[in-house]
Every structure is written in structure tokens, then in C-alpha cells.
Structure 1
Amino acid sequence: MQRILYALVFLFFQSVYGQQITVLDADTEEPISNVAIYNFDKSKTALSDLDGKCDLSVFARSERITFKHIGYQIRKTTPGQINRQGGRVYMVMKAQQLDEVVMSVSKWEQQKKDVPQKIASIDSREIAFNNPQTSADLLQSSGKVFVQKSQLGGGSPMIRGFSTNRLLLSVDGVRMNNAIFRGGNLQNVISIDPYTVRNTEVIFGPGSVIYGSDAMGGVMNFYTKKPQFSTIDSLEVSGNANYRFSSANDENTGHLDLNIGNKKWASLTSVTYNGFGDLMMGEHGPDSYLRNNYVVRLNGEDRLVSNSDPRKQLPTGYDQINLMQKITFKPNSDWLFKFNTHYSETSDYSRYDRLIRPDAEGDGLRSAEWFYGPQKWLLSNLQIEKKGKGKFYDGLRVTTAYQFFEESRNNRSFNDLDLFTTKESVNALSMNIDFENKKIGDLKLYYGTEYVLNKIGSEGSKRNIETNLVSSAASRYPDGSTWQTLAGYVTGEYKAKPNLTLLSGVRYSHVWIDAVFDKTFYPFPFDNANLNNGALTGSLGMSWFPWVNWQITWNGSTGFRAPNIDDVGKIFDSEPGSVVVPNPDLEPEYAYTTELGLQKNFKDRVVVKGATFYTYLVDALVRRDFLFNGQSQIEYNGELSNVQAIQNAAKAYVYGFEFGLDAFLTDNLSLAANLTLTEGVEEEDNGTDSPGRHVAPTFGDFHIMWKNQRLKADLFVNYNGEIPFEDLALSERNKEFIYAVDTNGNPYSPSWYTLNFRSQYNVSNTLRATLSLENITNQRYRTYSSGITAPGSNLIVGLGYSF
């Protein structure tokens, strides 16, 4: 009987031990296939399958075994220890393993080495390590994208001299740009929760062939995390909990996501809450950046009071919540159904650059209040994917989406009782049908169609802050106006030779605008705007490997931007003493770009990259002086203001150079650097030239990184060059209050640098901690065109737990 008992116990433990283990990526928790597992003398071996699963029953429980994969660091452990850790083995990717597959160029997976355009990829490992505060900071952390901020709740990317509505934002394949995206700085990117982002791809240069209007200077694609199906036969539950604190603005951020999946269904739920306090600037820098006084309302009047700590930027804090729900259904290996919902909402948040604007006398402040109302964004989309050999395609993806945007602007002048408010909303519908075809020898075809409809809601009001009496006021846009586009495209990838790939594409887009103007408050000399424009864009490029370690890329492309409701129908105060009025007589603007790239790989240890580009912009939509009913000045919100309007009044050219370096000195130690130099000029119709407004200064970074199985550390420097007064755009010279002053008393943007350190330590396979110290030398600086001063010395602590 005793022998039988021992045998049963032995068989029980043997059966438990013989269960499959799963090999996973330490950062993404994605399964890793083709991992070789072997003992000391390689007399026993095993291999993980496509789901990362492997049976270790061939090994003894206490036997030392090795896990090896070409893209990952070697891992050594024992089967017994793996069982104690829940049957999972986590492997860390090698530093040399660069991203090889991208989706942004054709909306389908392509080898990055075959793409002629420059693409920056930020994967989930980098995102987790950088631990960004917002998705704007996520982009900036790449070292390749410049970000401007007018307030703490902001972040307006600049790419190759373009920004705002000349760059396109996309989330999970859905266009985020809407008909009221403006030429001024935008903060819509902060609606995207960085905790939900799986990877980000940034296309440099026009992407209009695939993405249509607005994709003139670049495209920023955010791909969010996917629900994970069960890797076992029963229901599987997993999730993550994160916390982040930063000292510069007393940030407290909490995040929780939960994944539930079986073999055919999977659900991912995510919640993130951010609480940001007032931002503290650095100690060493221009005194003009200090917040010496601010406005408070006491006993029925506005008073200018001294700030007890001029380095604290009052008021800048705000709160934000982000929600995400994804459901995926996979009935078989050919079909996939995805339903996704994203929601983001901020509290009210101050536009800081308007609150520091001086009054006409220069001894007080112009505004007592200037704040954005809650910024709301809802995205719901259904995506259907089909794989397999169809008659006209090998892959089909249908994406339908509904989006809702809401924002408002609220301002009150010093000692004025009227608080003026404009509130805007956009209802956006879209449908994309994209095909992938691989049937014609060495030629791959990608083609599709797109339809987008935006309907605008806009209202204006003013409220007496003492009596609370509300009355009507002019709206920002024509209420009920619509913007819609219909387009079709085709692109081809041709493998001319094993070392030469050609890519080409063409797209036709048609855009309609319908807007009726309300003449209650302003006697517009027109009743409506009905624009009907078509645009043909194309691209041609090559990726060539003349030698095994050399890559040469060239790309020529055109981009366009059709006027939107913001261009055609806006009325607002653009700067002190100026008001922008509608202009229904607009045409699309076009960009023509060529770029040349060179990359050299030195024995897989050092990779040097360089690119140069030139863009020529014609019929540029710019803000210029205008006559309204023959008048150069009108009254707006009680103030006599100069009249301006958006016009096809300029040409422009932008050119620049981009450099990159990745050096893997050892398996643990590596270097990385980026440097971007951009120049740009706007040519007026009258023959005069002026510097481009959205041309960033020279900027770059340099990183020294060290990592092993548990610890990763990065010591790095960020740098921005100077923009002297003579190189400031004319519109920027009028904003003296956000710039430093040179020896001649003129505004300019000084150069600056910061020394920074960040680290991540994996306490266990489920618990990790991050510790960062930004701006160690406590510099006081503002990035170019920003109204808010950047954080001073900033301690950032983060904790992440996976279950």
C-alpha cells in the first residue's frame, strides 16, 4: 500500500511538472516562438511553438537549463523554479534587436528595410522605460520629434517645419484630425493614454497617399494594446497596475488594466487617472520667465498680487481620466472582429501663455481668466479583418468609426465682468476599406477607399460673473457646418532585385465644405461657404542595399491639405489687438518633398543614419492682414482689433538634415544619439521673406545606456539650439512675453540643455520600479514657441505590477 501511495504521489508531481510552460517577452508579455531550450551538454533539447509553449518533461526538475533566442538575452534557470513562478519564463530583448516590421506606410505589415521614408518606431519597451507623463512626452522622448507647449495640458508636435493641422494623428487606424484642427498649437494628442499605447510609428514627410488631407509634414500613428486570447484551454485573466509620481508638478497617476480571454474571445479594460498640480520651473535661467505676480479676485474686483514663489507657474494644474474597452472575437483563423472604445476627459485647465500676457500699459496683466473647458474625446470603432486567398485580395480590413470631440474657450479681461465662452463639438463618422494583395509575382499591391464626415456644433455666450446673467455672443465657427471627403488610393511594392525595393502610390481625394454664416453679431459680406476641391497626390521611392551593410533610400512625394472649417469660418482673437475673420475663398495647399537617406551598419555593433530633405509648399494657408467689409479694424469682445484672415498668400520651403547613431559596445552597454537641423522660409506674394513659424531650432540628444536581466539605466542629455531675433517668425516677434530678451532688447529663444537620468529595475517577473531624475542641473528654459516654462529638477517614481 505504501509503495502504491509513493507511486501515486510521484505520478502526480510528474504530471504537474510535465505541464507546458510559456516563454514570454519580459516587457510586452507576448509569446516568443522558436526559443531553443537545452541542458549543459545539449543532450536534451526542446523548442517553443508559435504560442511560446514548450513541454519540459524531458528535463529533471532541478536540472540547469538554458533558454536561447537570436533576438533575446540568454536566460538560465531550472524547471522547478519555473513551476514556482507559475509556469512562465520571461526573456529580455537584446539591445541590437531593432524593429523590423512597420504598418504605417501601407496600413499592412511591411519590412522596415524596404520602406524608403524615414520612420521612427517607439515600442512598448521604450514606452514602459521612458514612463512618459502624456503621449506628447512620449513623442518627444524619441529624440526625433519637437514638441511645443502653451500650457501644462498641452503638447503640439513639430516635424520637419510642419505642425498642428499639417500633421496627421491616427489611433488604431482611425484618423483623429477633424475639421476644426487649427493652424495654431494643438493639444489633442494628450487625449491618447500612454499606458494603453502598444507602439507608435512616426512617418517623416508627406503621407497623403495613404492618409489624405493634413498628412503634409508627417503622420503619427498610435497603436494601442490588443486583447490577449488565452494560451491555455480555459479562461485566462491577467492585468497590470501602475502608479507614477513626479515632483515638479506633484503628479499622481494611477492606471489599471484587466485582460480576460479564452480561445475565441478576449476583452481588455483600461482606466487611467491623472492628477497634475501647478508646475515648478527651474532655478537657473532668464528672469523674464518667472511668474512674479498673478490675478486673484477679492471683494468684487481683480487684483494683481505677488507670487510668494515666482518659480511656481500659477495656475497650471488639471485632472484627466482615460478609459478604454476592447473586445476581440476570432471565430477561426481567417476572421477577426474588433470593437474598441476610447474615452478621455480633462478638467478645466488654464492656457498659461494668455495669463502671463501683459496689458497695453505693460505694468499689469491683460487677462484675469483664460482657460479651456473640459477637452473630451470619444472614439468607438468596429474593425473586421479577413485573411486568406480572395479573388481580389489576400487581406481585407474594414474600419468604421464614430468620434465625438468637445472643447471650449473661456476668457475674461482684467476687471471686466463679462466671461466670454465659445463651445465647440464635432461629430465625426468614417469608413475605411483596405486591401492587401500579394498575388503578382514580386509585386505587392495595397489599395483602398476612405469616407469621412464631420459635423460642427458651435455656440458663443457671455456671462456676467456678478449677476450670472448669460447672453448670446458670437460663436467661433458656423454652427451646423459640415466637412467631408471621399478618396481612393493604390500603392505598390516591387522587389526589383533582392537588394532593391521600389514603392509607389497614387491617391485621389475630394473634399466638400458646407457652412452657413450667422450675421447676428457680424455683418459678413457673404452668406455661406461651399468649397468643392479635388486633389491628386503621389509618391515614388526606393530602398537599395548596394552592399550588405549599406542602405540608400530615396523618396519623392506630394502632400496636400484641403481647407477645413477652422480655415474657412473661424472668428477669434489670434494675438493681442488682432481678430481673425472667415474667408470662404480658399484653395488646398500642396507640399512637394524629396528626401535622401543613408545608413551604414558596422558589424551589427554601430549603426549610423543620416537623412536630408527638402519641401516646397505652394498656396500656403497663412494668417495675414485682411479687409472685412472694406475695414482693416473691427470691434471684437469689446476691443478694437486689426482684421486678419487665413489666405492662400504664401509659398514656403523647408529643408534640413537628420542624424542618428546606435552603438552597441557590449551586450550590456550601448550609446544612442539624434540630431535634427531644420531651416525654413515663407515667401509672401509681395516678394518679402520671413522665417517659418513652425521650424524648430536645432535639437538633439545623447544617451549612455546600461542594462542586464533586471536593471536598465540611461544617462542622457537633451539639447536645443538658439533662435535669434532675426530668425524668429514675424508672428512670434509679437509674443515678447513668452521669450527671453537679448542685449538689444529684442525677444529671442535661447539655447538650453538638460542632464537627465532614468532607470528601471525588475524586482521580479511581476513587479518593476522606475526612478528618473530630469533636469538634474535645474535649468530654467522654455522650448521654442512655448508659453509655459519647462519643469525644473524633477524626480519621477513609478511602480508597475503585472498579474
Structure 2
Amino acid sequence: MYKFLFAVFFLMTMFSYAQEITVLDADSGEVISNVAVFNRDKSKIALSNFDGVIDGSIFTDKERLILRHLGYEEYKSTIQQIRRQGQKVYLIMKAQQLDEVVMSVSKWEQQKRDIPNRIISIDARSIAFSSPQTSADLLQNSGKVFVQKSQLGGGSPMIRGFATNRLLLSVDGVRMNNAIFRGGNIQNVISIDPFTIKNTEVIFGPGSVIYGSDAIGGVMNFYTKKPILSQNDTLLVHGNVNYRFASVNMENTVHADVNIGKKDWSSMTSITYNNFQDLRMGSHGPDSYLRNTYVRTVNGVDELVNNDSPAKQIPTGYDQINLMQKFLYKPNSKWDLNLGAYYSETSDYSRYDRLIRPTSDGLGLRSAEWYYGPQKWFMGNAQLQKKGNGKFYDGLKLGLAYQHFEESRSNRDFQDAVLNTTMEKVDALNMNIDLENKKMGNFRLYYGTEYIYNKVRSNGFDLNIDTDNKTDAASRYPDGSAWQSLAGYVNGEYKAKPNFTIMTGLRYSHVWVDAVFDDTFYDFPFETADLSTGALTGSLGFSWFPRANLQITLNGSTGFRAPNIDDVGKIFDSEPGSVVVPNPDLEPEYAYNAEIGIQRNINDKFILKGTAYYTYLVDALVRRDFSYNGVSEIEYGGELSNVQAIQNAAKAYVYGFEFGLEVYLNEQWSLSSNLTITEGVEEEDDGTETPARHAAPTFGDFHIVWKNQRLRTDLFVNYNGEIEYNDLAMSEQSKEYIYALDENGDPYAPSWYTVNFRSQYDITNRLKATASLENITDQRYRTYSSGIVAPGQNLILGIGYHF
């Protein structure tokens, strides 16, 4: 009898458990509370609790259920189907939410609707659907950021006419920009693993109040996935395994991550390996883009050989590995301790645009070798956060981060026995204190302080490839130089009315540069660079909803960039026909920006967005002709070269328009489009005006999306406008080898478009497959200012399993 009662009790317990449904966020895996579940006639209704659990016992197995939450897309299923999925339902966040939360503007969570800046957010689901090779491609796939590439292992974003060291990169709140971020194209964004990104937020326009130096054109914040705690006393174990293949460069990528969590601690471990072969260009486009010849070295002898497959860009392939380890300790509801270790390393990868430079007679190639050594990045990051009612704050964040960067450059001219290499290492320390105060009625205050210290190690050597004899050579930067910054900021948000919010802020930053020049190889007319300078920046703007479906924003802000080691102390960096020398007499450059934005929501079916902006840059740090020891030309690398240096020698203004459209026809069909128009001019002290180098051509996209609960498809077009010869920057006009030639024989950037298709199918709740065909018509094109030709027709296949 007792055995029978026990069996009945056991079966009833198991049945009760089998009727429990756990509702989770499809991107983060976190539980979702307050999810409503009901049948078709709404005669039965249940609600998920704090742990995201729904008691489904009131529903029959085959009863059609609807799961609904304000911030997520509607989900339909049956108890029977959910049971086969392991009692779990994953909801997808809605594409458009007026109450979307962002963190980039103040480093604390804010409603996007209250912010006057233009911000875009790219979530993990969108990233997984677009399936980017690198984080540079992630930004480009958004349709709102232009990306330049000099080689396959790279990607240099351009935002509102600015790029490189006038844009700021941030990973989990820690600035990635260091003392040797240069004015030339920067590839550091590829060190960020797209598989680990939970959300990317891009601020358009100056962000110096919060982020300090370099945040002139915009800020790109990458937030990586956090360890997830268990909601009960059981051990939570889950993770992902992914594989991706791309035909255009025979990519093979594997990724795995695992999360282990208890109620008060959790751990996340991630690893990704990429292998990319040489990139193939398209078949329809300018013949001048073809790689007809390349240099091959056999037994130490360089020879120019014909390329049997001119569409293959030899050499462009490389490997990369990314590792991440995170720990979260949460002893109670007030305190969080987050620890993170990040590591990225590439193999050597060729700088393709230098390998296709012709000789002066046009009959050969100048370089036999030109490659970057392994690009390495390590970051150790500790962040302590407290929530609650403190005396002077309601939220406190203490951050301490250490970063180590390594990079090198090696180049050798055709049939020259000497390979020159420069190697750089940067150690960077970041310390932040950020506070939030919400106690003052409708006024919220954010304030904090930041200290940054960078130490630069740089050396050079020459290697004779015939004799293996290695000798010291000039370094790229002054070895042992330092760059440091101390800053304090205050930022306020005042909700004057429920539909009107004002935001304002101030920041003062002081920057020191200390460098000692070694005259072993060159007779410098100076011994040191000792710079101490300060900058005050501010912002003021408002967000206004005159009607519930209409938003108007207006924002004015200033930004600055203090000279860094690359500006002050770059030692003889060779460019075609010129050589760049150090200049210790530099001052910060300042940007003044104004923008107005409008967003209209028509019946939740049509969403129109538009932004117009104008940015004025003064005391611009630009590369211009210079006198070195009284002469304007010197012989460098066996070539008579024009002497140049970075100088505060120009002004610049950039203006443009950014448009967006989203159309939701029904639950399955939607349309979206983006268009960006940028115009930029640099003005010399004598009033001469020339086109700005980093003003991207007009670009945009158009998407047609169809989806149901399991399948999502996207047919889309990407397009770029033309830049005529007269509209090219002077530095670009001399690079005939990367541009097409017009009827006058002058270089220009042709317009182009591609037709593309993406799809993602949920085989089960745990198993997802992606299939894409990019550049369907196999166009041969180069994006503006890029050395490498863009990918041709490209089949992308991916499979991902969540456990």
C-alpha cells in the first residue's frame, strides 16, 4: 500500500514538474518574468514568476498557447511541443522599442527615448543572423557604419567623416584606444570576438564628456556576454557550439562557450578559432583591380610571376584565435564583482595595398614583402558595482583594467636582401570611478573620474635574408615614451516634463606626453617631447515628444583629441614618395558639433528616422609638408622623399544626413532601409580647401525580411555612390593603384551595389542553421579608400547548438 501511494505521489510530482515552463531571453539566456500565457479564447491565463517559470498545468497538451510580453515578439506553441523542447521557451526581443535601454551615454542604464544623441544598438540575435567574419564586418553589416579595409585582416570604421584615432573603441566600458593609435587605418577592432558580443552600441558624434580624448566622430561600445547565475540551488550549465564556413576565402571558424553558475557565482569560458585563406574578388568590374602578377621568393630570390587566378588576392589569408574567461560573484542584491580576461592573437597577415604598389615605371611591383606581425591584445578587467542608497550615490562602479598590445611591421623591397621590422608593445592601465545619483526627483546625476597610463616600447631591426645577419635599426616610436590622462566629469539628466528631457554634461581632461628621442640613427633637432595640456568639453541637448508618436532631438557637443605618441614621436614612417618625421610642438584639436533628429512612428507600422549634423574641427592634427634640419626633402629607403609631419595646420568641417525607414507590413513581412550622406572639407591656413580623406561616399541598404517562428529570411541590397577624381582627398589622388581610372586617366571610386540573401532556420530550440549568399551577381568592387578588393560571390553556411 505504501509503495502504491509513493508511486502515485512520485507520478504526480513528475507530472507537475512536466507542466512547468521556463521562459528565457533568446539572446542572453536570462529568465523573463511577467510573461503572459493564454489560450486562444483567453479563458485560461498564467503568468511567469520571478524565476521565469510558468505553471502550465491548467492547459491541455494540445491546446494552442500564446506567450506575450511587452518587450518581446509573440510566441505560439503547445504544451506538447514545449515538452519536447526541454520545458523551455526562448523569446526574441522586439526589433523596435521606444523604451529600449542603452548604457553608452552615461555608463549607466538609460531609456533611449530620453537621449538626444543618435545611438544605434546591435544585439546578439542580429549579430548571429548577419554572421560576420569579424567585428569590423559586424559594424559594416549594420548599414550605418562605413568600413575601410587595407587587407583581409582588418577593418577601419568611418563615422561622420572621421576615422582611426578620432573614433573611440570601448570593450565592456574600457577604452581600447592607446598611445599609438594612428591617423592611418587602424585594425584593432578585429581583436573583438563577435561570438562573445551581447550588444554593440554606437554613438554618432562627439562623446568626449564621458570618454575623453579621441571621441570626436563617434564611440563604438562593445559589451560582451556576462556569466549567468542559477535561479535556484541547482548548478546551471549551458553553452553554445558554432561552426561557420564561407566560400569566398574558404573560411573555417569554430566557436564554443560554456556557462557554469550557482546562485551567487558564475563562470563563462569562450574560445573561437578562425582560418581564412586568400580572398577571391568578383568577376564583373574593373580589370585594373585584378591581381595579375605577384612576387614569389624561391631560395632567397624574388621573381615576378603571373597569377593563374587573377581574381584571387595573393597573399591575404591569416589565422586568429580569441579567448575569454569571465567570473561573476554576487553575494547579495547590492554587490557585483565582475572579473574578465580577454586574449586575441592573429598570425602574420599581409598588408595587401602595399603589395600591389607598382614601381615608378609601372612594369613591376615595389615590395617583395609587407606584412603585419601577430596582432596581440590582452585585457584583464575587474569591475565592482554597488547598488543601493549611498550617501552621495545610488550606484557605484569601480573599474580597474590592464591591457597589453603588440604589433609589428615588416617590409622588404623587390630583390632587396634587407627585411626591415619595427615592433611595438603598449602597456595600458585604466582606472575609473563612476557614480549615479537618482534621489533628486526628476533629476539624475552621473559623475566620475578616470586615470589612464600608457607605456610604449618600440624597437627596430634589419634582417639580411641572404646571410641571416640581424642588426639594430631605428624604432617607429621613442622607446619608453609615456602618455597619461587624468579627468573628471559630471553629466545630468532632467525630465522637465514626461515628454521632455534635457541632458547636459562637462568634462575636464589633462594629458601628459613624455618622450626621449634616441639620436643613434638620426640627428634630431630636439631631444625630448614634453607635452602637458588640458581640455574642457561639454554637451547640451534635449529629447522632446510633442506627440506620443513623434520624437524631436537637438544636441550640441564638443569633442577633443590630445596628441598621442604616434602624433608627437613617429620616427620616419615611410609613405609613397614621402617620409613622416617627429614633431614635439603639438596642441589638442577640438570639434564643435550640432545635430537635430526626428523620429515618427505611424501606427507601429511605419517608423521614419532622420538626423542632420554639422561638425567643425579646429587646430586639426594633419600630415603636412615640414622642414627637417632645414631641408624639405631627404633620402630615405633609397628614395628622395618629401618631408612631412603631423601639425596643427588645418580646419575641417563635416556635415551630413542620416535616414532610416522601417515598415512592418504584418507579423511576417517587414522592410527597412538606411541612407547616409556625408560631405567633408579640410581648410588650410591659407584658405585652400580640399576634400576630407575620411568622408565616406553616399552609402545605404534596403532589406525585405520575412519570418515566422522558425525561419527568418532577408533579401537585401547594399550600395555605394561614386567619388569623382576632383572629390578625392589629395592623399587619395596619388593612389592610382587602388582606384579605377576615369576617361581622363585619373583615379576615382566607382559606385557599386550588391544583391544578397540571408536566412536562419531554427531546427529545434537548441539547434539553428544559417545559410547566406552574398554578392549574388558577383560584382568586382572596392569600397572607398580600401586597398583590398571586396569579396565576390560568397556562400556562407553556419550551424549552432545551444545546450
TM-score, structure 2 length as denominator? 0.98
Number of aligned positions between the proteins: 801
Q: Cα deviation per residue 1:124-151 (whole Å; 9 max; x = unaligned)?
A: 1101111110000000111100000000
CA RMSD of aligned residues (A): 1.3
Q: Cα deviation per residue 1:215-239 (whole Å; 9 max; x = unaligned)?
A: 0000000000010111332111100
What's the counterpart of residue 597 of structure 1?
597
What's the counterpart of residue 226 of structure 1?
226
> Alpha-carbon deviation of 1:727?
0.2
Amino acid at match of 1:183: G
Distance in 1, Cα, partners of 2:759 & 2:80? 31
Q: Secondary structure at the match of 1:546?
A: strand
What's the counterpart of residue 448 of structure 1?
448
Distance in 2, Cα, partners of 1:106 & 1:409? 37
Residues 215 and 549 of structure 1: CA distance in aligned 2, closer, same or farther (over 3 Å) = same
Distance in 1, Cα, partners of 2:783 & 2:98? 30
Matched, 1:709 2:674: no
Distance in 1, Cα, partners of 2:557 & 2:233? 49
Distance in 2, Cα, partners of 1:730 & 1:96? 42
What's the counterpart of residue 772 of structure 1?
772
Amino acid at match of 1:699: F
Q: Cα deviation per residue 1:424-465 (whole Å; 9 max; x = unaligned)?
A: 000000101000001111100000000000000000000000
Distance in 2, Cα, partners of 1:104 & 1:73? 25
Matched, 1:632 2:632: yes
Distance in 2, Cα, partners of 1:67 & 1:698? 42
Match of 1:13 among 8, 11, 14: 11
Contact 1:649 1:684 in 2 (8 A): yes
Q: Secondary structure at the match of 2:753?
A: strand
What's the counterpart of residue 657 of structure 1?
657
Distance in 1, Cα, partners of 2:440 & 2:495? 11
Q: Secondary structure at the match of 1:185?
A: coil
What's the counterpart of residue 558 of structure 1?
558
> Alpha-carbon deviation of 1:94?
4.0
What's the counterpart of residue 363 of structure 1?
363
Distance in 2, Cα, partners of 1:661 & 1:64? 35
Distance in 1, Cα, partners of 2:711 & 2:351? 39
Amino acid at match of 2:149: K
Residues 704 and 40 of structure 1: CA distance in aligned 2, closer, same or farther (over 3 Å) = closer
Distance in 2, Cα, partners of 1:251 & 1:60? 48
> Alpha-carbon deviation of 1:41?
4.7
> Alpha-carbon deviation of 1:571?
2.0
What's the counterpart of residue 417 of structure 1?
417
Residues 701 and 681 of structure 1: CA distance in aligned 2, closer, same or farther (over 3 Å) = same
Residues 172 and 94 of structure 1: CA distance in aligned 2, closer, same or farther (over 3 Å) = closer
Contact 1:302 1:414 in 2 (8 A): yes
Q: Cα deviation per residue 1:240-284 (whole Å; 9 max; x = unaligned)?
A: 000000000000000000100000010000000000000000000
> Alpha-carbon deviation of 1:549?
1.2
> Alpha-carbon deviation of 1:639?
3.0
Distance in 1, Cα, partners of 2:76 & 2:298? 68
Q: Cα deviation per residue 1:315-357 (whole Å; 9 max; x = unaligned)?
A: 0000000000000000000000000011000000000000000
Worse-superposed segment, 627-636 or 73-82:
73-82
Distance in 2, Cα, partners of 1:192 & 1:300? 37
Worse-superposed segment, 597-606 or 27-36:
27-36
What's the counterpart of residue 149 of structure 2?
149
Contact 1:26 1:765 in 2 (8 A): no
Residues 99 and 374 of structure 1: CA distance in aligned 2, closer, same or farther (over 3 Å) = farther
Distance in 1, Cα, partners of 2:470 & 2:98? 58
What's the counterpart of residue 106 of structure 2?
106
Q: Secondary structure at the match of 1:284?
A: coil
Matched, 1:729 2:717: no
Contact 1:95 1:667 in 2 (8 A): no
What's the counterpart of residue 79 of structure 1?
79
Distance in 1, Cα, partners of 2:157 & 2:173? 19
> Alpha-carbon deviation of 1:46?
1.9
Distance in 2, Cα, partners of 1:436 & 1:785? 42
Matched, 1:279 2:279: yes
Contact 2:432 2:449 in 1 (8 A): yes
Distance in 2, Cα, partners of 1:646 & 1:732? 17
- In the TM superposition, what are the counterparts of 1:335-350 in structure 2 within 5 Å? 335-350=335-350
Contact 2:98 2:113 in 1 (8 A): no
Contact 2:28 2:225 in 1 (8 A): no
- In the TM superposition, what are the counterparts of 1:556-635 in structure 2 within 5 Å? 556-635=556-635
Worse-superposed segment, 26-35 or 703-712:
26-35
Distance in 2, Cα, partners of 1:731 & 1:462? 29
What's the counterpart of residue 137 of structure 1?
137
What's the counterpart of residue 56 of structure 2?
56
Distance in 1, Cα, partners of 2:605 & 2:63? 34
> Alpha-carbon deviation of 1:5?
5.4
- In the TM superposition, what are the counterparts of 1:246-645 in structure 2 within 5 Å? 246-645=246-645
Give unpaired runs (5+ residues) of structure 1.
none
Contact 2:31 2:52 in 1 (8 A): yes
Matched, 1:696 2:693: no
Distance in 2, Cα, partners of 1:733 & 1:61? 70
> Alpha-carbon deviation of 1:80?
4.4
Residues 359 and 333 of structure 1: CA distance in aligned 2, closer, same or farther (over 3 Å) = same
Give unpaired runs (5+ residues) of structure 2.
none
Distance in 2, Cα, partners of 1:578 & 1:745? 23
> Alpha-carbon deviation of 1:77?
3.4
Percentage of matched positions with identical amino acids: 70
Amino acid at match of 1:190: I
> Alpha-carbon deviation of 1:547?
1.5
> Alpha-carbon deviation of 1:33?
1.6
Q: Cα deviation per residue 1:342-377 (whole Å; 9 max; x = unaligned)?
A: 100000000000000011221100000000000000
Amino acid at match of 1:447: Y
> Alpha-carbon deviation of 1:606?
0.5
> Alpha-carbon deviation of 1:297?
1.4
Residues 573 and 483 of structure 1: CA distance in aligned 2, closer, same or farther (over 3 Å) = closer
Contact 1:17 1:83 in 2 (8 A): no
Distance in 1, Cα, partners of 2:377 & 2:525? 35
> Alpha-carbon deviation of 1:200?
0.2
What's the counterpart of residue 69 of structure 2?
69
Distance in 1, Cα, partners of 2:350 & 2:220? 26
Matched, 1:762 2:762: yes
> Alpha-carbon deviation of 1:52?
1.3
Amino acid at match of 2:792: G
Contact 1:99 1:121 in 2 (8 A): no
Amino acid at match of 2:481: S
> Alpha-carbon deviation of 1:11?
2.5
Worse-superposed segment, 171-180 or 8-17:
8-17
Amino acid at match of 2:801: Y
Worse-superposed segment, 565-574 or 701-710:
565-574
Q: Secondary structure at the match of 2:651?
A: strand
Contact 1:161 1:696 in 2 (8 A): yes
Distance in 2, Cα, partners of 1:612 & 1:73? 32
> Alpha-carbon deviation of 1:96?
4.4
> Alpha-carbon deviation of 1:72?
3.1
Q: Secondary structure at the match of 1:799?
A: strand
Contact 2:245 2:253 in 1 (8 A): yes
Distance in 2, Cα, partners of 1:434 & 1:612? 31
> Alpha-carbon deviation of 1:577?
2.0
Distance in 1, Cα, partners of 2:62 & 2:686? 82
Q: Secondary structure at the match of 1:18?
A: helix
Worse-superposed segment, 4-13 or 165-174:
4-13
Worse-superposed segment, 643-652 or 681-690:
681-690
Q: Secondary structure at the match of 1:681?
A: strand
Distance in 2, Cα, partners of 1:73 & 1:375? 41
> Alpha-carbon deviation of 1:574?
4.2
Distance in 2, Cα, partners of 1:315 & 1:512? 41
Q: Cα deviation per residue 1:64-106 (whole Å; 9 max; x = unaligned)?
A: 4432223334334343443343221223344444671110000
> Alpha-carbon deviation of 1:36?
1.0
